Amino acid sequence: MRKNDPSSAPRSGERLQKIIAAAGLASRRGAEEWIREGRVSVNGQVVRELGTRADLLRDTIRVDGRRLGRPERRLSLLLNKPRGYLSTCSDPRKRPTVLDLVPSARERLYPVGRLDFQSEGLLILTNDGDLALAVTHPRNRCAKIYRVKVRGRPSDQALRRVARGMYLEGRKTLPVRVTPIRSEKHAWLEITLTEGKRNQIRRIFEAVGHPVLKLKRIAIGGISDRGLSPGAWRTLTQAEVRSLKGAVE
């Protein structure tokens, strides 16, 4: 038996995806994808099994060849993302990202979920993998609330169609709460989602003939902050982090 062979070692320690998330590199879901893609090694051997366990104090764990150190201090920020920023850590086209708005943070943070380039509103940046999982995993159904302006004035029938859920890429979305706010030339709506498919709100309203003109996320799992100006951020309180985690446990 090889001493450093993770496949032959006793199954002790923690799951690799949890270790990677705790190190602040990605959410657990993101870490699982890295493992499947063969980007993670333990004691020199690539690991693709999601059930693999390791001990950071005993084993050498690398992601893309970079060795994991001890977990960073957990930090979670609430950012009011302006339009014109990508919800990602980097961009090959050198467009501005949300990390450009928090240059003072020493910890390696990543956005939890996404707001597209033209959308604005609340976004969590964190290195806490458990928090990211609580907010993004579909089974948790963490509610996000959006203020949306759509072209024209959707009929009651169109809004009922949106509310029931619609098929995107062959799969039906979960029901959506739709609350009309006001209707002038174009309608303003409040939309509550419990899942986060890519560009979901824009795609469902495009499908009913009322493209989105403006989109702003105003709450995540009960956390909101109307006093946070565009581009500004603040640290989530421990109580807010506990509430986000506890709301989906």
| Active site annotation includes 91 | no
Q: Angle CA(107)–CA(113)–CA(114) in degrees, nearest 5?
A: 105
Contact 245, 188 (CB under 8 A): no
Active-site residue, selected from the candidate residues 5, 59, 64, 116: 116
Residue 75 to residue 70: CA distance in whole angstroms:
15
Contact 248, 134 (CB under 8 A): yes
Helices (H), the chain: 16-22, 28-36, 129-136, 156-164, 200-207, 238-246
Contact 193, 146 (CB under 8 A): yes
Instruction: Report the catalytic residues.
Output: 116
